[in-house]
Chains A and B, each alone.
Chain A
Amino acid sequence: MPAKKSIDLYALTWRVPIILWQLLFFVGPVLFMVAISFFVVKNYRMTEAFEFVNWQKMLSRSYFWDSYWYTLFIASFSASVAMIVAFPAAWALAFRASDALRRWAVFLLIIPFFTSYLVRTFSWYVILAESGVLNAMLGFVGLGPFTMLNTHFGTVVGYLTLTLPLAVILQTVTMANIDKTLIEAARNLGCKPLATIWRVVLPLSKTGFIIAALFCFILSFGDFVAPFYLGGSQEPTLPILILDTTKSGQQWPRAAVVAIMMMLTLFTIAFTAIALAYRKPKGAK
């Protein structure tokens, strides 16, 4: 309502409690985590301090950097796989399926996103085991058995469980919003199907695709379940490092260092990706 009073009680009711709540239970924890990265642990007790010892210790250890680059690599790799595997399916749903079918497909794909990732991972554990379902099926055609658990392959399968539905949804929605006449026009002008994808569809869906890839990356980068249970954690990823450091020996400050490094990495990548996604194509004014 326009009538101005110095304090609008109604407006504040909807605003202030949330601000306080989020400051207390979101900003508070994150800032406190930054703070404890400077605390010290003596005799298994954390004491307040402002020292760089945790940063020094963590960043000078080769196992941290091994883990850092491995996590970066495997998360990027798995995000790329998710994007590539999702593409033909999203293409089919966006251009070949009816609107109703597409809605149903998206409806179905939303479901796994809200169902227990943990149980799905455990299910993969049983499927991929040496004597598991997949090897038994391959055995019928005279193949295998393959070792799939405790490998990079296992880790990637776990990540895909998390990211593939999302990649398909985001790609489908992005491509379904493309003006179909543009594609027909390109085909009409003699553009070959693959060239049409490359020159028309991909440029038009650039923003949506980069965002989708970014989400896949963020989800894989921060997940500890897949590398732990399916990857065997021989090469620990950063989340596993946080887990181990926190759960064993109360080394929260060092875990905080790892967490902050992860967040900085994520912010840098997210920022770059979003800048790329919304950058105007070359030559456009």
Chain B
Amino acid sequence: MTEPLVTFRNVEKRFADFVAVQDLNLDIHEGEFLAIMGSSGCGKTTTLRMLAGLESPTQGEIHIGGRLMNDVKPHERDTPLVWQSLALFPFLTARENVEFGLKMRGVEKAERRRRALDWLERMDISEFAERNVDTLSGGQKQRVALARSLVMEPRMLLLDEPLSALDANLVIRMQGVLTRLQKELGITFVYVTHSQSEAFAMADRVVIMSRGNIAQVGTPKDIYRAPANRFVAEFVGRNNILSGKIDTIDSDTVSITTPAGQFTAKPPAFAIQSGQDTSFVVSADLVSLSRTAPDGGNKVQATLISEEFIGSVVTLFLESADGHEFKVQMQERELLDLDLAADQSVWLSWSAGNAHILEGG
């Protein structure tokens, strides 16, 4: 495996008494689209700002391209950032904004003009080149901000919630623009967001942070299907989490007793022992629903409480006899085929292979 582009080694960042980032260890690889996700105050923006040199770590080391970066000033780095506020220079035109970084680097006038216009063209906003940025729409400003960073031809682009100010339709469009750009340019994108849908839609790998720590790193699919711990399982949502005690441990299944019944799950990669408290998770779209009891396997009887439609996907909320709430996700058409009535009692079932035991209970 090649040397990672960025390494964080035991990085800590404190602001007075507040620990923003704690013992952070993370590698970022050349050419990947990495999303750092978490709720506000989790340390994701601080991590990004440390990459840009806007904060320096209190402890630990950050290397970029093999070079120790802890005390390198922001302007001596090659880490352009697309800001949440966009931070376009309001007294300049779109073209002058894009030229700014080149001007600071001493690129000669005609050359920087040509490169700026190239990028504006590439972002489909060349017609606004000579307009003051204050007169542009949200989406156009967004493109200027991207062009302004990418014209620097960096190895890595940092993005801090760049789509949070746009309306829903535009977000989808810009997601397309971003993923296409990243593939075409082949450079590393580090994308900070609180939005799961943005992270999962675009990123090759997702880092989930909580209270200054990394909760899980993995592909979107890993995180979705096999959340490592309760925090991630709850953060990702649309998961059924059941808690109980471990009974028996076989080579290919673990049996767990919960108030809702006895279930089996896949043995985890970490050590467990029988008798210990544990939780496991089954994602809502891997639970099947039937009117009659299925043979064998993991099953539980529950009553339909409510339904929630998002497009053609429907989420059903059900309650088992012991009062546990279950979520089941399916296509609307499947639901119609089942022909359920409210308060109807149905059977939920899932295979042991889709039940993941959470680390830390």
Among residues 91 to 108 in chain A, which have CB atoms less than 8 Å away from a CB atom of chain B?
none
Complex Cα spacing A121 to B72, Å: 62
Interface-forming stretch among A1-9, A37-45, A135-143? A1-9
Please indicate the chain A residues that have their CB under 8 angstroms from the CB of B71 in the complex: 3-4
Complex Cα spacing A1 to B73, Å: 7
Please indicate the chain A residues that have their CB under 8 angstroms from the CB of B56 in the complex: 2-4
Please indicate the chain B residues that have their CB under 8 angstroms from the CB of A3 in the complex: 53, 56, 71-73
Q: Mark A1-19, 1 if CB is under 8 A from B, else 0.
A: 1111000000000000000
Which residue of chain A has its CB nearest to the CB of B49? A2
Among residues 19 to 71 in chain B, which have CB atoms less than 8 Å away from a CB atom of chain A?
53-56, 71
- A-B contacts, CB under 8 A, total: 16
State whether the Cβ of B74 lies closer than 8 Å to any Cβ in chain A. yes
Which residue of chain A has its CB nearest to the CB of B71? A3
Question: Count of B residues near A, CB < 8 Å?
Answer: 9
Please indicate the chain B residues that have their CB under 8 angstroms from the CB of A1 in the complex: 53-54, 73-75
Please indicate the chain B residues that have their CB under 8 angstroms from the CB of A2 in the complex: 53-56
- Minimum CB–CB distance from A33 to chain B (whole Å) comes to 42
- Minimum CB–CB distance from B103 to chain A (whole Å) comes to 19
Complex Cα spacing A2 to B53, Å: 8
Please indicate the chain A residues that have their CB under 8 angstroms from the CB of B73 in the complex: 1, 3
Please indicate the chain A residues that have their CB under 8 angstroms from the CB of B72 in the complex: 3
Please indicate the chain A residues that have their CB under 8 angstroms from the CB of B74 in the complex: 1
Complex Cα spacing A2 to B72, Å: 9
Please indicate the chain A residues that have their CB under 8 angstroms from the CB of B54 in the complex: 1-2
- Minimum CB–CB distance from B75 to chain A (whole Å) comes to 8
Complex Cα spacing A2 to B74, Å: 9
Complex Cα spacing A2 to B51, Å: 12
- Minimum CB–CB distance from B318 to chain A (whole Å) comes to 45
- Minimum CB–CB distance from A1 to chain B (whole Å) comes to 5
- Minimum CB–CB distance from B52 to chain A (whole Å) comes to 10
Complex Cα spacing A2 to B70, Å: 10
Complex Cα spacing A1 to B77, Å: 13
Which residue of chain B has its CB nearest to the CB of A5? B71
- Minimum CB–CB distance from B239 to chain A (whole Å) comes to 39
Which residue of chain A has its CB nearest to the CB of B50? A2
Among residues 66 to 121 in chain A, which have CB atoms less than 8 Å away from a CB atom of chain B?
none
- Which of B55, B71, B72 counts the most A-chain CB atoms under 10 A from its CB? B71
Complex Cα spacing A119 to B114, Å: 59
- Minimum CB–CB distance from B324 to chain A (whole Å) comes to 44
- Minimum CB–CB distance from A197 to chain B (whole Å) comes to 42
Which residue of chain B has its CB nearest to the CB of A2? B56
- Minimum CB–CB distance from A134 to chain B (whole Å) comes to 51
Please indicate the chain A residues that have their CB under 8 angstroms from the CB of B55 in the complex: 2
- Minimum CB–CB distance from B115 to chain A (whole Å) comes to 27
- Minimum CB–CB distance from B13 to chain A (whole Å) comes to 10
Complex Cα spacing A2 to B73, Å: 8
- Minimum CB–CB distance from B42 to chain A (whole Å) comes to 21
- Minimum CB–CB distance from A7 to chain B (whole Å) comes to 15
Please indicate the chain B residues that have their CB under 8 angstroms from the CB of A4 in the complex: 56, 71
- Minimum CB–CB distance from A195 to chain B (whole Å) comes to 46
Q: Mark A209-239, 1 if CB is under 8 A from B, else 0.
A: 0000000000000000000000000000000
- Minimum CB–CB distance from B344 to chain A (whole Å) comes to 49
Complex Cα spacing A1 to B71, Å: 10
- Minimum CB–CB distance from B81 to chain A (whole Å) comes to 14
Among residues 176 to 234 in chain A, which have CB atoms less than 8 Å away from a CB atom of chain B?
none
Complex Cα spacing A2 to B57, Å: 10
- Minimum CB–CB distance from B73 to chain A (whole Å) comes to 5
- Minimum CB–CB distance from A215 to chain B (whole Å) comes to 35
Please indicate the chain A residues that have their CB under 8 angstroms from the CB of B75 in the complex: 1
B contact set with A: CB distance below 8 Å? 53-56, 71-75
- Identify the 5 closest CB pairs spanning chains A and B, nearest first: A2-B56, A3-B73, A3-B71, A1-B73, A2-B55
Known A-B contacts: A3-B72, A4-B71. Give 5 more (CB < 8 A). A1-B54, A1-B74, A2-B55, A3-B56, A3-B71
- A–B Cβ pairs within 8 angstroms, 16 of them: A1-B53, A1-B54, A1-B73, A1-B74, A1-B75, A2-B53, A2-B54, A2-B55, A2-B56, A3-B53, A3-B56, A3-B71, A3-B72, A3-B73, A4-B56, A4-B71
